[in-house]
């Protein structure tokens, strides 16, 4: 699957954005290419930089659509260089998550159940703003509750995070692997683009290979670059590197 095709698939979900906005955003984000992680690390940790992470975080959490494609890229990959970053961080509020598991499995949910989903999504996003799964749940609740303006805003943000990942490569091999900041994003990214994950394996060179395809079709290999993710993890957990 090439990057342009994947971008078009992702944008087909953005029913609130409008055709002209989608085309403009697709063109701009497709030009981002692979992230310059050294530059992003430098800029997102510099309080004097317009790409300083704390500034981007405040902008991301606002209920508006003013962030540019470049800001989304810096914000997403800037996550790697934050002091509290942990790619294997434990679940937020495990008790509430356990209560939600049967609710997630339902086809229809009551308003009270949707509110519980929203409460948890907000807790997770406060802890991890780029949690793709809980951003999706937040949008779902807004839509179901008739808050279409908020749904449109947060769909815009989710789409642009997905497009940042899509623009980092094609996923076809190691040289063109998609770069992610959390392992879970590999599965969420593919699932949200309409493919079903069937298997996976780890390449010791620092890549995850996910087998996924359309329902009823043979799965294809999709490569994800997790070298920087692992580098940052082992910097904070040096004992794990020696195992």
Extract the tokens encoding 173. Answer: 């091999």
Task: Please state whether beta strands 207-213 and 220-225 pair in parallel, antiparallel, or not at all (unpaired).
Answer: antiparallel
Task: Supply the pTM of this predicted model.
Answer: 0.88
- Write down the pLDDT at residue 242: 66
> What's the Rg (C-alpha) of the chain?
18
Could you give the CA distance from residue 7 to residue 1 in angstroms, rounded to a whole number?
Answer: 10
Average pLDDT, integer, range 189-201: 90
Share of the chain above pLDDT 70, in %: 85
- Write down the pLDDT at residue 217: 65
* Contacts for 233-241: CB closer than 8 Å, 24+ residues apart: 233/86, 233/87, 233/88, 236/85, 236/86
Name residue, tokens 């789409």. 159
């Amino acid at each position: 699957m090439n990057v342009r095709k994947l971008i078009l698939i992702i944008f087909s979900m953005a029913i609130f954005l409008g055709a002209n906005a989608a085309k403009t955003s697709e063109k701009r984000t497709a030009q981002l290419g692979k992230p310059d992680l050294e530059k992003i690390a430098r800029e997102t940790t510099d309080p004097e930089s317009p790409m300083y992470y704390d500034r981007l975080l405040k902008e991301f959490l606002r209920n508006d659509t003013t962030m540019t494609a470049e800001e989304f890229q810096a914000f997403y990959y800037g996550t790697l260089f934050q002091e509290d970053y942990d790619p294997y961080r434990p679940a937020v509020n495990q008790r509430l998550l356990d209560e939600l598991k049967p609710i997630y499995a339902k086809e229809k949910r009551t308003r009270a159940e949707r509110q519980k989903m929203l409460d948890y999504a907000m807790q997770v996003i406060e802890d991890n703003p780029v949690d793709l799964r809980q951003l999706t749940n937040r949008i779902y609740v807004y839509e179901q509750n008739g808050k279409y303006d908020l749904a449109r805003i947060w769909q815009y943000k989710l789409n642009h995070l997905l497009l940042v990942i899509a623009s980092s490569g094609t996923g076809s091999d190691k040289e063109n692997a998609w770069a992610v900041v959390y392992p879970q994003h590999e599965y969420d990214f593919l699932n949200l683009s309409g493919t079903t994950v069937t298997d996976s394996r780890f390449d010791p060179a620092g890549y995850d290979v996910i087998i996924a395809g359309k329902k009823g079709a043979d799965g294809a290999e999709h490569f994800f670059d997790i070298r920087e993710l692992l580098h940052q993890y082992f910097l904070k957990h040096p004992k794990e590197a020696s195992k």
